[in-house]
Structure 1
Amino acid sequence: MTEPLYLLLGDNAFLIERAVGQVLAAAGRDSGEPVALTRVRAGEVTAAELAELLSPSLFADSRVILVEAAGEAGKEPAAIITSTLSEIPDGIVLLVAHSGGGRAKSMVGALQRAGAVEIDCATPRWPSDRADFVRREFQATGVRVSRDVVELMLANVGSDLRELAAAVSQLVADTGGKVTEAAVETYYSGRAEVRGFEIADKAVTGDLAGARESLAWAMHHGVPRVVLADALAEAVHGIARVRGLGSVNPQSAAADLGMPPSRVKKLQAQGAAWDAERIGAAAVVVAKLNGDVKGQAADADFSLEQAVSAVANLRPRRGRA
């Protein structure tokens, strides 16, 4: 049964839209007919418009109202939203999409105290978070997969949640639920995005010529620059995290790191030649690259070339401290 109040907490557009679709479908099942969705942006809607939307309907029509970007709500709209939370009229389902920050940050607490059903819509920050997302997507279809399958999915598909969700659905459908490492490799063999991880692996192992060659191929074939930057960042951060644990068994460290043991073992091998100072410098390089490929640099291609070269050159050579 549909609840009257939902808090969509986070900033990921795909997760927010999926949550809205699920609530809308549930409301339609409850009423026995399609339910209209009304969208309002918190920073633009007037107090009068919002009050009218949240007022009881004379005909008891079912309505789903989505308040977008609630963190940016003005003082009056924010006050109307919070004052309505305890007495939402029958037939109205209120969804409040809130990033968790913004000038109306206090609204989150008010929604939680009012008993809002909270749906996590935050963009995963770490590789382990994305691995959890993929695992949950498979579980939602009734399919259990190994850690290595999850790792391959992330390596082949990338970090975009919409693409990951679609890939999980497609793989489950095409394999009848028998999703193995071989199935993932067969399905995604030749995907250009794989090059991002090839480039990153070559860079962190000091193969400058190989990294440059693979980067040129990827850019020529239109691989998104953000994908390439993310792959390099994940390789550098992965080495930093594994080095921080010291000499540990990959099997025992896998759960703490949120990685398959095979990935831990690979990062241990890659990180053996790195020292703390150089991996710290590499982390600074990929942090700057993240901003550059998202619009802060005039030439993202040049930034990528410079970052890949910098990471490869930072990797200590044999005989060099």
Structure 2
Amino acid sequence: MPPARRSTRSTARPGLSWDVVEPAPVVLVRGTEGLLADRAMARLVGLARERATAESTTLEVTRLEASMYEQGRLAVLASPSLFAEPRYVEILGLESLNDACATDVTAYLADPAPDVVLVLRHAGGQKGKKLLEAIAATGAPEVACEPVPEREKAAFVQAEFARGRRRIAPAAVTALVDAVGSDLRELAAACSQLIEDTTGQVGQDDVDRYYGGRVEATGFKVADAAIAGDAGQALALARHAMASGTDPVPLVAAVALKLRTMAKVAASRGREQGNATAGLAPWQIDRARKELQGWTPEGLAAAVSAVAAADAEIKGEGRSPGYAIERALLRVAAARAGR
């Protein structure tokens, strides 16, 4: 396995994406986003197996839990094998490692064994910080597995379809993110289903056909209707969502999120965007600009106040969450119409 023979310093590329990392003597997979970490580790073991097969050898794969690690175990696994077969070792859960694991891995970093790929998984937190610093000091490749921000969910969807050699319309991307974008695993699964079950370019009709019920049951459709000034549609969707078991809190949160985005974009008018639109993706800015048509600064301020009041009532200051959200939606829709 040629890459396993190179120095960890010569392969140093911190912050790698899961889809470009290559097997190396030591690889750190770090971050709280489990989907990206799972993909990184599946890629690493897959590539290691391919290379072993190409060399007509068998890859020995071992997985260990850092919290249950036994002293000396890594040294045994990395010791030269009788037939010089390549070995692949994963140590999972470094965020819960015991002292024996910390000691052995730290010592191993000084002299990684040839023909061994050691993959270390840390899912976040402060425990194991010294070991993480020691790994970074060797220059070992690190795969970044942090949560994907909302502003980057659209790019994630586009990348999923590009890997599947399929195209998806911009409107369909937005609809899909609105429907299932809160959880990256669900979003990836939705992309996979659309790629497998449809043909040609995926459009908004395809997304609505597969996930329309979910879209209507979320606050995004409710928010769209209220901000467009369509009070009747907003109330109908909100009532349907609550009747289907949706908690009022995320409904209000969705309206509040849209209004905050609109306020940021409105604040950037007439000057460079600068900090006003920091954290927003270009598509979010373009969408907010369209949604701001028909709104005045006074109306926007009134809508924000109405939603803030509803949020407080729903979270304990009022007796009827359903009434609170319906009143807020009426006020938001009226604020756009200037009534």
How far does residue 11 in structure 1 lie from its aligned partner after superposition?
A: 0.7
| Residues 250-309 of structure 1, C-alpha deviations (whole Å, 9 max, x = no match) | 9xx8996342565223443487522299469849949x99xx9xxxx9xxxx99758846
How far does residue 128 in structure 1 lie from its aligned partner after superposition?
A: 0.9
Please point out which of 90, 112, 123 is paired with 2:114: 90
| Residues 176-206 of structure 1, C-alpha deviations (whole Å, 9 max, x = no match) | 4523444434444x33244212233356678
Contact 1:199–1:214, Cα closer than 8 Å, also in 2: yes
Q: Which runs of 4+ in 1 moved over 6 A?
A: 205-209, 224-227
- 2:103 matches 1:79: yes
Q: 1:149 to 1:85 in 2, by over 3 A?
A: farther
Contact 1:9–1:98, Cα closer than 8 Å, also in 2: yes
Contact 2:59–2:86, Cα closer than 8 Å, also in 1: yes
Unaligned runs of 5+ residues in structure 2 are: 1-21
Please point out which of 88, 102, 123 is paired with 2:147: 123
How many residue pairs match? The answer is 306
How far does residue 29 in structure 1 lie from its aligned partner after superposition?
A: 0.6
Q: In structure 1, what residue type is equivalent to 2:34?
A: A
For residues 25-44 of structure 1, the aligned pairs below 5 Å read: 25-32=46-53, 35=59, 37-44=61-68
Percentage of pairs with the same residue: 28
- 2:167 matches 1:141: no
Please point out which of 283, 290, 300 is paired with 1:274: 300
Contact 2:255–2:307, Cα closer than 8 Å, also in 1: no
Q: Secondary structure at the match of 2:91?
A: strand
Contact 2:64–2:91, Cα closer than 8 Å, also in 1: yes
Q: 1:10 to 1:222 in 2, by over 3 A?
A: same
| Residues 131-150 of structure 1, C-alpha deviations (whole Å, 9 max, x = no match) | 22212222323445454332
Contact 2:181–2:187, Cα closer than 8 Å, also in 1: yes
Q: Secondary structure at the match of 2:38?
A: helix
How far does residue 86 in structure 1 lie from its aligned partner after superposition?
A: 4.4
> Which structure has the bigger radius of gyration?
2
CA root-mean-square deviation: 4.5
Q: In structure 1, what residue type is equivalent to 2:51?
A: D
Q: 1:179 to 1:281 in 2, by over 3 A?
A: closer
Q: 1:203 to 1:285 in 2, by over 3 A?
A: farther
Separation in 2 of the partners of 1:284 and 1:85?
55
How far does residue 106 in structure 1 lie from its aligned partner after superposition?
A: 3.8
Separation in 1 of the partners of 2:254 and 2:160?
22
How far does residue 4 in structure 1 lie from its aligned partner after superposition?
A: 2.6
Q: 1:280 to 1:226 in 2, by over 3 A?
A: closer
Which residue in 1 is equivalent to 2:32? Answer: 11
Please point out which of 170, 179, 191 is paired with 2:213: 191
Please point out which of 129, 132, 150 is paired with 2:155: 132
Q: 1:141 to 1:320 in 2, by over 3 A?
A: closer
Q: 1:255 to 1:101 in 2, by over 3 A?
A: closer
Please point out which of 157, 165, 169 is paired with 2:188: 165
Please point out which of 234, 237, 245 is paired with 1:214: 237
Q: 1:164 to 1:316 in 2, by over 3 A?
A: closer
Which residue in 2 is equivalent to 1:239? Answer: 262
| Residues 72-99 of structure 1, C-alpha deviations (whole Å, 9 max, x = no match) | 3344422322332343323322222223
Superposition TM-score, scaled by structure 2 size: 0.68
How far does residue 50 in structure 1 lie from its aligned partner after superposition?
A: 4.3
